[in-house]
Homo-oligomer: A and B are copies of this chain.
Amino acid sequence: MNAPRTSTTWQAIRSEVMRRIAEREWAPGAQIPHEAELAQEFGCARATVNRALREVAEEGLVERRRRAGTRVALHPVRKATLRIPVIRTEIEARVAAYRFLLISRTEAAPPPPVAARFQADGAARLLHVVGLHLADDRPFVLEDRWIDPKAVPEVRGVDFEDTSPNEWLVENVTYQGGTIAFSAVAASAADARALDCAPGAALFTIDRATHKGDATLTQVRLTYAQGYSMETTL
């Protein structure tokens, strides 16, 4: 989008490098010239070449190692970046009216598979919140969440009548890491009731756990209404 007057931009170098890889001028597995050499060729500073190659490496097209140099990847691992917005934002982006419907909010001992994730003593009681996100008053996604009140003390005072756990947690708790898994499940009776589909219907689900240090803060299963598709670009 910008065209500085005199200098070579790192974007230009990135494009040229990617072109040479695409056109097989640099074959898969082959080593490409080192930074200093490319800097000379392009008539720019080595830092500029470094910036360009770092980006190409992040996309997985080349692999870089000190001393060994830079090689064109043999099996470029394609990387897709998923943007995972707050559900309310996702629905509003579809120009639909958002509403959250709290189904239940209890404290209970989690079932074994959930407890295992929290690496908690089996006796520990966790907060269990279930609610439905609606788009234009039609079911969009069912949120089934467990929260550890010991790790997130403020949560005890929240009723989740107006604000979904999804949104409250994003705004009030900073995560340090987590895992996400995407899968397909057959709708349970409860799923079918909440999401207005037939039992056994194929539903897209996201299971997410977020951590802070060693502690698991929260775990959630999002079960999307039938026909949902999560999309991104390469």
In the bound assembly, the distance between CA atoms of A178 and B80 in angstroms comes to: 10
- Decide: A84 and B75 in contact? CB cutoff 8 A: no
Known: A28-B171, A185-B202. A180 touches B76 (CB 8 A): no
- Decide: B89 and A84 in contact? CB cutoff 8 A: no
The yes or no answer to A121 lying at the interface (CB within 8 A) is no
Specify which of B84, B203, B231 is in contact with A180 (CB 8 Å cutoff). B231
- Decide: B170 and A75 in contact? CB cutoff 8 A: yes
Specify which of B76, B177, B182 is in contact with A182 (CB 8 Å cutoff). B182
Residues of chain B lying within 8 A (CB to CB) of residue A233: 177-180
- Decide: A79 and B82 in contact? CB cutoff 8 A: yes
Shortest distance between the CB of A100 and any CB in chain B (Å): 15
Known: A202-B186, A234-B179. A78 touches B84 (CB 8 A): yes
Residue of B at shortest CB range from A187?
A: B202
Residue of B at shortest CB range from A208?
A: B234
- Decide: B184 and A203 in contact? CB cutoff 8 A: yes
Residue of B at shortest CB range from A234?
A: B178
In the bound assembly, the distance between CA atoms of A21 and B174 in angstroms comes to: 8
Residue of B at shortest CB range from A200?
A: B200
Q: Kindly list 19 other residue pairs between chains A and B, CB separation below 8 angstroms, not including A82-B82, A177-B233, A179-B233.
A: A22-B174, A75-B85, A76-B170, A78-B83, A78-B84, A79-B84, A80-B81, A80-B84, A81-B82, A178-B234, A182-B229, A183-B184, A183-B227, A184-B203, A186-B201, A200-B200, A200-B202, A201-B202, A210-B234
Pairs A–B under 8 Å by Cβ, sample size 15:
A21-B174, A74-B171, A75-B89, A75-B171, A177-B233, A181-B229, A182-B229, A183-B204, A184-B185, A184-B228, A186-B201, A186-B202, A200-B200, A201-B202, A202-B202
